Amino acid sequence: MFDDADARWMRAALTLARRGLGRVAPNPAVGCVIVKDGVVLGRGWTQPGGRPHAETMALAQAGEAARGAAAYVTLEPCAHHGRTPPCADALIAAGIARVVAAAGDPDPRVDGRGLSRLRAAGIAVATGLLEAEAREINAGFLTRHALGRPWLTLKLAGSIDGRIATASGDSRWITGPAARARVHLIRAEADAILVGMGTLRADDPRLDVRLAGLEDRSPLPVLLDPRLSTPPSARLLSTGRPTLILHAPGVDAPRAKTLRGLGAELVEVAAAPGGLSPEACLAALGARGLTRAFCEGGGRLAAALIEADLVDEIAWFTGGAAIGSEGMPALGPLGLSRLAEARRYRCVQSARLGPDAFSLWRRADPT
Ligand code: AOF
Ligand code: ZN
């Protein structure tokens, strides 16, 4: 059904799709390439804010030449009337002869209708080419549709012995510039970045993207602040970017007013022993349309998310310092007595970044 050229064009479409990550929520990041006689006539990807869709952009580039061409799309073209007419109709109107789609769209407004509309119009339709790669790019969109919460990547950065700071809290820097640049790249592809109060107090972070050319890709900062104890002087509140603060019921009203006055958006979520309910926090982010969340600490929040089995992926950065057992551990207590009870992750990627190491771990399927 597919030949080498099909795979090559779909790979190009997947590369274009990635450009949208972190800027298109709640929409998926889709890529589209329009090809005729081995020549690319149009390239498109979902635009910031989620519209125009990838197909619209690629068709506009191809113009009249699209007649008789093939379209490679990383997701089934949409079939619903949103802010613009359906992409399936646009492909039909442009005279596209063949559509190759990598994956289906679970949005109930689409869900097979895009492809059947194309088939009904006499277009040759093939699906499933590089589907795993496409699903990987849209893990956020798919997770939100399936579970009502964003895909969650947890960052852990520690010493050679898994400590994130010395006993006195000194943590700058365990990893070097190359590892920290990679963290900023992950931030750039996230819709939201989560931290707990321990990290806010210890680091007073800005949680933005400080990579040349990607400064406008900073995700929405989300503070998990049960009792609304964020100090009004927090650097995060003076960046001019919106900040979301999740808090427990029954917080101090004047404090809420002060934080709102500084531009923060406050959302109440259910409490749980020791803080906020991790499930309720992620559900609140999903309800707000966020599809990709990146948690940057600290150890207690990380442990709570792992315990609730909400962590889809762990980005683990190791620096070469040996800190010793007085140092602060990467994870707070998990209360395990038997290893059989431990959450398991499997390594799917690893790389050396300067003198440091990076590895990516995915939730292991239950055995
Ligand atoms: C496509 N190409 O590039 C994207 C699609 O709010 P709307 O009207 O933009 O519709 C959002 C839905 O459209 C989204 O849930 C998903 O089903 C689809 N996204 N479809 O054909 C694209 N981003
Ligand atoms: Zn569309």
Give me the CATH number covering residue 279.
Answer: 3.40.430.10
Q: How do residues 215-246 score in pLDDT, each as one tens digit?
A: 888 999 999 999 999 999 999 999 888 999 99
Minimal CA–CA distance to 104: which of 127, 87, 123? 127
Centre of ligand 1 to C-alpha 252, Å, is 40
Domain endpoint, select from 93, 112, 140: 140
Domain endpoint, select from 108, 140, 172: 140
Which of 172-176, 209-213, 286-290 shows the lowest per-residue confidence on average (mean pLDDT)? 209-213
Domain endpoint, select from 91, 118, 140: 140
Which of 159-163, 212-216, 273-277 shows the lowest per-residue confidence on average (mean pLDDT)? 212-216
* 138-152 core/surface letters (b: 16 or more CB in 10 A; e: else): bbbbbbbbeeebbbb
Residues 172 and 37 in one domain: no
Q: Please give the Cα distance from 244 to 233 (Å, whole number).
A: 16
Output the pLDDT for position 203: 86
Residue 302 labelled as part of a binding site? yes
Residues 132 and 159 in one domain: no
Residues acting as catalytic residues:
55
247 with 269: CB under 8 angstroms?
A: yes
Residues 117 and 15 in one domain: yes
Q: Which ligand is nearest to the CA of 13?
A: 1
Q: Which structure tokens are listed for 227?
A: 């009792």
The residue to mutate among 33, 53, 118, having the most atoms of ligand 1 within 8 angstroms of its beta carbon, is 53
- Other CB atoms within a 10 A radius of the CB of residue 24 amount to 26
Closest-lying ligand 1 atom to the alpha carbon of residue 81: 8
Residues 202 and 283 in one domain: yes
- Average pLDDT, integer, range 78-104: 94
- What is the signed CA dihedral for 274, 275, 276, 282, rounded to 10 degrees? -90
Residues 245 and 313 in one domain: yes
Domain count for the chain = 2
Residues 154 and 71 in one domain: no
Q: Taking ligand 2, which is a single-atom ion, which protein residues have CB atoms under 5 Å away?
A: 53, 78, 87
DSSP label of 73: E
Q: Which structure tokens are listed for 345?
A: 């992750």
Residues 6+ apart with CB under 8 A from 70: 9, 34, 35, 36, 96, 97, 98, 99, 100
Q: Please give the Cα distance from 129 to 121 (Å, whole number).
A: 21
- Tell me the residue ranges of DSSP E strands in 172-241: 192-196, 220-224
> Which residues have C-beta atoms less than 6 Å from ligand 1?
27-28, 30, 46, 50-51, 53-55, 75, 77-78, 82-83, 87, 105, 107, 110
Residues 45 and 136 in one domain: yes
Q: What sign results for the dihedral spanned by CA atoms 91, 94, 99, 102?
A: negative
CATH number at residue 43: 3.40.140.10
Q: Please give the Cα distance from 72 to 102 (Å, whole number).
A: 8
- Average pLDDT, integer, range 82-109: 95
Q: Which structure tokens are listed for 42?
A: 């149009």
Minimal CA–CA distance to 76: which of 96, 102, 109? 102
Residues 121 and 172 in one domain: no
Output the pLDDT for position 341: 93
Its domain, for residue 339, covers 148-363
296 with 314: CB under 8 angstroms?
A: no
Q: Please give the Cα distance from 160 to 220 (Å, whole number).
A: 31
Q: How do residues 188-218 score in pLDDT, each as one tens digit?
A: 999 999 999 988 998 899 888 988 888 888 9
Residues 186 and 299 in one domain: yes
Centre of ligand 1 to C-alpha 178, Å, is 35
What does pLDDT average to over the chain? 95
Output the pLDDT for position 366: 61
Residues 192 and 127 in one domain: no
Residues 21 and 131 in one domain: yes
Residues 86 and 56 in one domain: yes
- Other CB atoms within a 10 A radius of the CB of residue 3 amount to 7
What is residue 207's three-state secondary structure? coil
